């Protein structure tokens, strides 16, 4: 009997994992906050595909652009990672981060910015990576 219950639990777990797959969605299925963010900051870019990534306990949305760039959003529609080959718009960046980059890394562009609960990780087009706290204060250069 115990083996039978264990087998049923394992089958249920495998079945539920299989339903946790990536799914291509339309723009209107993105959280409204993500839709507004894209319309406000990236209306000049063409969307190639939007993927809803159903992870085990969370979901994430990834918007791919025809130019080879992408933006990742959490389930609430807050951006978590922006990778724009032509440069992330300065209007998105914290003013302190903009000032630091302008002062210390002239003639560079931010091509990737990652935001989590602790900090911002910024990558410049010359491959330098810089870490800032959530207030935009410089913390360190990263390898």
pLDDT digits (tens, 9 = 90+) for 72-125: 999 999 999 999 999 999 999 999 999 999 999 999 999 999 999 999 999 999
Q: Which of 103, 105, 137 is nearest to 124 (CA)?
A: 105
Check for a shared fold between 22-83 and 87-143: yes
**Statement: residue 14 has pLDDT above 70:** no
Which sequence spans correspond to the domains of the chain?
Answer: 22-83, 87-143
DSSP, collapsed to helix, strand or coil, labels residue 3 as helix
CATH of domain 87-143: 3.40.1420.30
**Statement: residue 20 has pLDDT above 60:** no
Please state, in angstroms and as integers, the Cα–Cα distance from residue 15 to each residue in 10, 18, 21, 46, 55, following that order.
9, 5, 11, 36, 14
Which pLDDT score, from 0 to 100, does residue 21 have? 76
Note the pTM of the prediction, 2 decimals: 0.82
CATH of domain 22-83: 3.40.1420.30
Which pLDDT score, from 0 to 100, does residue 55 have? 77
């Amino acid at each position: 009997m115990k083996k039978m219950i264990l087998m049923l639990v394992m089958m249920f777990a495998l079945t539920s994992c299989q339903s946790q797959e990536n799914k291509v969605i339309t723009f209107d299925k993105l959280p409204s906050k993500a839709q507004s963010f894209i319309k406000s900051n990236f209306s000049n870019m063409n969307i190639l595909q939007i993927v809803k990534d159903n992870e085990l306990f969370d979901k994430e949305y990834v918007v791919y652009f025809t130019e080879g760039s992408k933006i990742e959003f959490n389930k609430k529609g807050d951006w978590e990672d922006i990778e724009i080959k032509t440069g992330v718009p300065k209007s998105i960046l914290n003013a302190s981060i903009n000032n630091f980059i302008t002062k210390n890394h002239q003639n560079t562009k931010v091509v990737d910015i990652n935001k989590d609960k602790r900090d911002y990780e910024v990558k410049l087009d010359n491959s330098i990576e810089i870490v800032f706290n959530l207030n935009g204060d410089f913390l360190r250069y990263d390898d």
